[in-house]
Amino acid sequence: MPSVSRRSALALGLGLPALMTLASCGNGSSGSDGAAAGEPQQGGTLTYLEPQTWTTLYPPAGGFYPNGGLINNLTDRLLYQNPETLALEPWIATALPEVNEDATEYTFTLREGASYSDGTLIDAENVVKNFDLYGIGDPERALTVSEAINNYDHGEVVDATTVKFFFSAPSPGFPQAVSTINSGLLSSATLDRSGEQFGPGNAADLIASGPFVVSAEEIGTQITLAVREDYDWAPASLGHEGRAYLDEIVYLVASESSVRVGTVTSNQAHIARQIDAPDEAQFEADGLVLYAAPTNGVNNSLSFRFRDPALEDIATRQALIAAIDRQAIVDTLFTANYPLATGALGAKALGYVDTSEHYAHDPALAATLLDEAGWVAGADGTRAKDGAPLTLTFNEALPQPRSREVVTLIQEQLAELGIDVQLLPGDQATQDAARAEPGKVQVYHSMVARSDYDVIKSQFSSDNRNALLNGHPDGTVGDEELDALFAQIASTPDEEGRAEASAAAQAHLAEQALILPLFEEPQVYGHVDAVQGFSTESVARPSFYDTWLAG
């Protein structure tokens, strides 16, 4: 008698995989192929899926992708950075700024007639108010300074359409900084709000001048943008003028990767951000399109914290570089959209230098180097020096694609050479707390997206993100020369000088074996082919101004 029930239970169990196989084969049902590009059509509501919910619309804190994806479509900037060429073009400013010799004074002329959605004009007074907040911050209101603006002193209203900004030291990165979402312009009333009032629940009250305005918000799940009919000040190099094509954009949160992918592939939504590498194949089906945008900044890489006793010796760091098989990682975990890194910066990033000769995979060399550095294999296979085992803790880069799997593969590769790799488990807060504390993390996995020469300084300088933990909390700095090289990039007034300084810093990083760049990290979007004219800004945040829906 129970044998019957057992058999039926078994049948039930076996039925499921069969169904799932069916499910995995049955793709491409959305094969309505006729939506070829034609004349852009106006109207329609686009549904866009984000893996996480946004946290604030205060532009300097917009680096988090869900925030930036909104701010980019809600705000205008003084200048526009062309995502193809990375050149700066006029936007709210009618031309590139006039700048003095040592890059400490910038004068912008503003276009007339551009207005915020509450009807107030973008005038000199308002623009100065924007940058006086973004350049200095207001800790009392918990409003932070923009990471992209260095050495800001104050702004001045010259006349109604002319503004002048003053800096306490050269700030050659300023023109690019004003083009990023971190410098999105807001109405004067909005700038008076507190940090809390930029958070969820307030989106519809935030007034900006962009092609879309927030029309509805449900905290934590969705936010709806509506087109601004009278918008007429788009950057000239974009596909059209006037209002955006779409009537509405609905941003929905779908944190589960399989749900995000399935919703688009089954035609229930138009476009999703963060398509994981293993899911890319699903977008090869008819009617679906994959869009991988480069992030043009510091590559997805490992930073070796050289002040930690385990990594003090350059030979040990060189051994790690020789021991880690980057190609195997990219081949196993990623796709062609994740090219193997050839240097600290992405190949299209400003100031990029090829340093790939420093990053050759050579396990035999790695073993020799480890021996030279005094790491001797112990009884359990793990190497040790003076009784201290060669144990390295990696952080888990939660925002980065498949960081856990990357570290797992490295763990396996390094184990063969007697190096014990541990992954620091924990959520974002745990990771952030451990990141800045000496001795907790020896190898730091991360990347930064920003298309300016300054990006490398942002990532490695001890007064910025301090990825190498060159600066300790006690105020000491391990490699002063390195910090000086980064400071050079941010303070040399002319373009060539900055490129040279950046090249010098990259050479130092490579020669001292301080980092191992893994791959160029893209932002991967997947959409149905009814979505036309979709593009991204210079660090791959979605721009919906030119986007339209076919059919």
Partner 1 sequence: MSAQTLTPSGAPAGSGAPARAPRLSALRPGVVLSALVLLTALAWALLPGVFTAQSPTASVGASLQAPSAEFWFGTDATGRDVFARVVHGASHSITAAVVAVAVGLVVGTTLGVIAGSVGGFVEEALMRLVDMLLAIPGLLLSLSVVILLGFGTTNAAIAVGITSIATFARLSRSRVISVRRSEYVEAAFGSGGTLPAILWRHILPNSAAPVIALAALQLGSAILQISTLGFLGYGAPPPTPEWGLLIAEGRDYVATAWWLTLLPGLVVAAVVLATNRLSSAIGQGESA
Partner 2 sequence: MAYVRRRIGGALLVLVLAFIAAYILLAALPGDAVLARYGNPDLGLTAAQLAEIRAAYGADRPQLVQFFETAGSFLRGDLGYSIQSGAAVSALLAEALPSTLTLAALGLVSAVALAVAIAITATHPGLRGHRAARALRNLLRGLPPLMVSLPVFWIGIVLIQVFSFQLGLVPVLNAGPIESLILPVATLAIPIAAPLAQVLIRSIDEVLAQPFVSVARARGATNTWLLSRTVARNAVLPALTMAGLLFGELVGGAVVTEAVFGRMGVGQLTAQAVAARDTPVLLAVVVISTVVFVLINLVVDLLYPVLDARLRRSDAAAPTRRAAVAVR
Q: Smallest gap, in angstroms, from Cβ of residue 24 to partner 1?
A: 6
Instruction: Check residue 511 for interaction with partner 1 (CB under 8 A).
Output: no
What proportions of the chain, in percent to the nearest 5, are helix, strand and coil? 35, 20, 45
Would you count residue 404 as binding partner 1 (CB under 8 A)? yes
**In this complex, which beta carbon is closest to partner 1, that of residue 323 or of residue 510?**
323
DSSP assignment of 482-526, as one string?
A: HHHHHHHHHH--SHHHHHHHHHHHHHHHHHTT-EEEEEPPEEEEE
Query: Which of partner 1, partner 2, none lies near 333, with the C-beta cut-off 5 to 8 A by kind?
Result: partner 1
**263, 272 contact by CB (below 8 A):** yes
278 binds, among partner 1, partner 2, none (CB under 5 to 8 A by kind): partner 1
Closest by CA to 463, choosing from 42, 112, 150, is 150
Tell me how far apart the alpha carbons of residues 181 and 72 are, in angstroms, rounded to a whole number. Answer: 6
List the interface residues with partner 1, window 267-306 (CB under 8 A): 276, 278-279, 281-282
Q: Residues binding partner 1: what is the number (CB under 8 A)?
A: 42
CB of 17 to partner 1, least distance (A): 5
Measure Cα distances from 455 to 202, 245, 349, 439, 498 in Å.
Answer: 31, 33, 9, 26, 12
Q: Does 197 bind partner 2 (CB under 8 A)?
A: yes
- 9 near partner 1, judged by CB under 8 A: yes
Count the Cβ atoms, other than its own, within 10 Å of residue 283: 22
433, 438, 439, 476: residue in contact with partner 2 (rule CB under 8 A): 433
Please identify, using beta-carbon distances, which residue of 399 and 497 lies nearer to partner 2: 399
Least distance between partner 2 and beta carbon 270 (Å): 10
Strand ranges inside 247-395, DSSP E: 248-253, 271-273, 288-294, 298-304, 376-377, 383-385, 388-389, 391-394
Closest distance between partner 1 and the C-beta of residue 51, in Å?
12
> Which x/- pattern over 310-349 shows residues binding partner 1 (rule: CB under 8 A)?
----------------------xx----------------
Q: Does 435 bind partner 2 (CB under 8 A)?
A: yes
- How far apart CA 250 and CA 113 sit, in angstroms, is 29
Segment lying near partner 1 (by CB under 8 A), choices 152-160, 256-264, 374-382, 527-535: 256-264
Spatial separation of the C-alpha atoms in residues 134 and 181, rounded to whole Å: 11
Closest CA to 181 of 547, 533, 539: 539
Q: Should residue 423 be labelled a site residue for partner 1 when binding is judged by CB under 8 A?
A: yes
Contact between 257 and partner 1 by CB under 8 A: the answer reads yes
Nearer to partner 1, 275 or 293 (CB): 275
Amino acid (one-letter) located at 281: A
Using CB under 8 A, count the residues that bind partner 2. 72
Q: Which of 144, 197, 430, 535 binds partner 1 (CB under 8 A)?
A: 430
- Nearer to partner 1 by Cβ, of 164 and 260: the residue is 260
Judged by CB under 8 A, does residue 426 bind partner 1? Answer: yes
119 binds partner 2 (CB under 8 A): no
String marking each residue 10-49 x if it binds partner 2 according to CB under 8 A: ------x--xx-xx--x--------------------x-x
| Gap between the Cα atoms of 57 and 73, Å rounded | 11
Is residue 428 close enough to count as binding partner 2 by CB under 8 A? yes
For the bound state, the minimum distance from the C-beta of residue 234 to partner 2, rounded and expressed in Å, comes to: 28
User: Judged by CB under 8 A, does residue 266 bind partner 2?
Assistant: yes
412 touches partner 1 (CB under 8 A): yes
Contacts with 368 (C-beta within 8 Å, 6 or more apart), sequence order: none
- Does 458 bind partner 2 (CB under 8 A)? Our answer is yes
Q: What's the CA dihedral at 531, 536, 542, 543 to 10 degrees?
A: -80
Q: Is the CB of residue 231 less than 8 Å from the CB of residue 242?
A: yes
- Exposure pattern of 240-272 as b/e (b: 16+ CB <10 Å)? eeebbbbbbbbbbbbeeeeebbbbbbeeebbbb
Distance CA 536, CA 398 (A): 23
Nearer to partner 1, 124 or 407 (CB): 407
Residues facing residue 527 across a β-bridge: 271, 289
Taking the complex as a whole, the smallest distance from the CB of residue 75 to partner 2 amounts, in Å, to 18
Q: Which of 11, 13, 113, 475 binds partner 1 (CB under 8 A)?
A: 13
> According to CB under 8 A, which one of 28, 31, 38, 201 is a site residue for partner 2?
201
Calpha distance 110→91 (Å, rounded): 9
> Of 530, 462, 457, nearest to 489 (Cα)?
457
Q: Which is nearer to partner 2, 40 or 200 (CB)?
A: 200
Calpha distance 267→249 (Å, rounded): 16
Phi, psi dihedral angles at 415 (to 5 degrees) = -60, -35
Strands (E), 315-473: 376-377, 383-385, 388-389, 391-394, 420-423, 443-448
Q: Which does 309 bind (CB under 5 to 8 A by kind): partner 1, partner 2, none?
A: none
Residue window 20-39: x/- pattern of binding to partner 1, with contact defined by CB under 8 A: xx-xx---------------
The answer to whether residue 427 forms part of the interface with partner 1 (CB under 8 A) is yes
Q: Applying CB under 8 A, which part among 191-199, 319-327, 360-368, 500-508 lies near partner 2?
A: 191-199
Strand blocks (E) in 95-170: 98-99, 105-109, 152-159, 162-167
Query: Which residues are at the interface with partner 1 (CB under 8 A)?
Result: 1-3, 5-6, 9-10, 13, 16-17, 20-21, 23-24, 256-258, 261-262, 276, 278-279, 281-282, 332-333, 398, 402, 404-405, 407-409, 411-412, 422-427, 430
